Chains A and B, each alone.
Chain A
Amino acid sequence: MASTYRFYRTPRLGDGLTRQTAFRSKLNDLGIVRADATQDFWSWPNRAMAVSLCLVWCEPVKHVTIAADPDISALSPELADIAAVNAWLDQPVGALPAAIRARLESDGFPLGWVNGATTRRQLWRKIAQQHVIMQRLFAGNDNAFNFFKRSLDETIASVPVAIRNRVSAWMVERGLDTSWITGATLVREVVEFVLAQVNLPKCRLHPELDF
């Protein structure tokens, strides 16, 4: 049976402190898919959120095994090849299943901006940009990184002052207006604003997939 592609949301395991406890997708530990001529998966190692978004290429029977894991959510149907993946991405999100929406929001991805006309690629682009921002902040040992670890429904007033001061300065450094933010503003509003304003280069999850 030919291998097919499918997107998944998996737990991100590890603390990153050693290579044995590296940040990784739960898929690495399951050992169902290892890179060879018939299977592989690509994942973003997210250091701020306990989630890993993955594109898996494997035989359908293995997709069944992966999807049966209670910690893993399938985010797409099985897609025959990269052309089909790209075609699927360019279609509207439509009615995002409530369980998927709730899961991604609890992971820290604000989805309030998504409407029926939003394409899946646009959704993945926002998620990719959020991921890239967090990667860069972590690499720069920037305390603004910790802002993206907060719950989306937390108010700015409840964010520790050192973190909110730093994220405010970080936004100003990028020319973003912060005058509208008050103590009652939600973290999700700030994250959505940042993602709407920044314009990062395209990000790749797979060598042939641009977001």
Chain B
Amino acid sequence: MADATDDFERASLGANWTVSLGAVTIVGSSDVRGNSAGADSLTRWNANTFNGDHYSEVVVTTGDDDGGGPAVRHQSGAVTCYAWMMPTTDIWTMYEITAGSYAVLGANYSIAGSTNTGTTARLSVTGSTLTPSIDGGAQATRTDASITGGGPGIGFFATTVSFESWLGGPIAAAAASLIFKSNPMQHLLVR
């Protein structure tokens, strides 16, 4: 399927997003942000069906110490996903969130300037490998196999960070190598 995109140029979040935790709102008819003071929010793009290998990407309008970031494998009807979010300026953390229970996967990331306005933050998941990137530059991967399926989304801490656009879509599989082998014995066996 094709990539999905949202520029949030409207008054309300709309039906293409399902909020699974907290509240999410449009600000200034141009950006999206969390709307739960002092608490986390998560939303999942519901307008398309994705396979388990996909990505989610946001462009930062306002970065902040109570930030947010892209989420993948967000399950329908559950607070379960992987999310790569900024807990403080220029620091990113990979979270595995299962039924609302948070766990940190590996070291926090220290990336100078990464929470500035205009930064593009992406999280891709393929198999059990999570690959975050900033402005196209891949960061260290994490591995985890506890969440499968789901779709892309966005996470927020509190109400201060905002994103001006979102992009999500499938990760193209490597060209499948389809080799049909003819087995003469097979013809004998099926008779």
Closest A residue by C-beta to B99: A141
Residues of A contacting B102 in the complex (Cβ-Cβ under 8 angstroms): 14, 16-19, 21-23
Residue of B98, B104, B107, B129 with highest tally of chain A CB at under 10 A: B107
* Total count of chain B residues near the partner, CB < 8 A: 33
Residues of A contacting B145 in the complex (Cβ-Cβ under 8 angstroms): 132, 135, 201, 203-204
CA distance A21 to B102 in the complex (A): 8
Indicate if the CB atoms of B140 and A19 lie closer than 8 Å. Answer: no
Please tell me which one of the listed residues B101, B107, B146, B147 contacts residue A16 in the complex, with CB atoms under 8 A apart.
B101
* Interface of B: prevailing SS: strand
Please tell me which one of the listed residues A28, A136, A201 contacts residue B108 in the complex, with CB atoms under 8 A apart.
A28
Closest A residue by C-beta to B112: A36
- B118 CB, nearest partner CB in chain A, Å: 21
- A119 CB, nearest partner CB in chain B, Å: 21
Q: Is A27 an interface residue (CB 8 A)?
A: yes
Please tell me which one of the listed residues A17, A24, A25, A207 contacts residue B101 in the complex, with CB atoms under 8 A apart.
A17
* Total count of chain A residues near the partner, CB < 8 A: 37
CA distance A135 to B144 in the complex (A): 10
Residues of A contacting B111 in the complex (Cβ-Cβ under 8 angstroms): 36
Would you give the 0/1 interface string for A39-69, flagging 1 where the beta carbon is closer than 8 Å to chain B?
1111101010000000000000000000000
CA distance A102 to B110 in the complex (A): 35
CA distance A138 to B96 in the complex (A): 12
Would you give the 0/1 interface string for B135-149, flagging 1 where the beta carbon is closer than 8 Å to chain A?
000011111011100
Indicate if the CB atoms of B106 and A42 lie closer than 8 Å. Answer: yes
Within 8 A of A (CB), among B90-126: 91, 93, 95-96, 98-111
Indicate if the CB atoms of A22 and B104 lie closer than 8 Å. Answer: yes
CA distance A18 to B97 in the complex (A): 10
- A167 CB, nearest partner CB in chain B, Å: 19
Please tell me which one of the listed residues B107, B110, B142 contacts residue A28 in the complex, with CB atoms under 8 A apart.
B107
Indicate if the CB atoms of A138 and B101 lie closer than 8 Å. Answer: yes
* 10 tightest Cβ-Cβ pairs between the two chains A and B: A45-B103, A22-B102, A24-B104, A16-B101, A34-B110, A23-B103, A204-B143, A135-B146, A35-B109, A35-B107
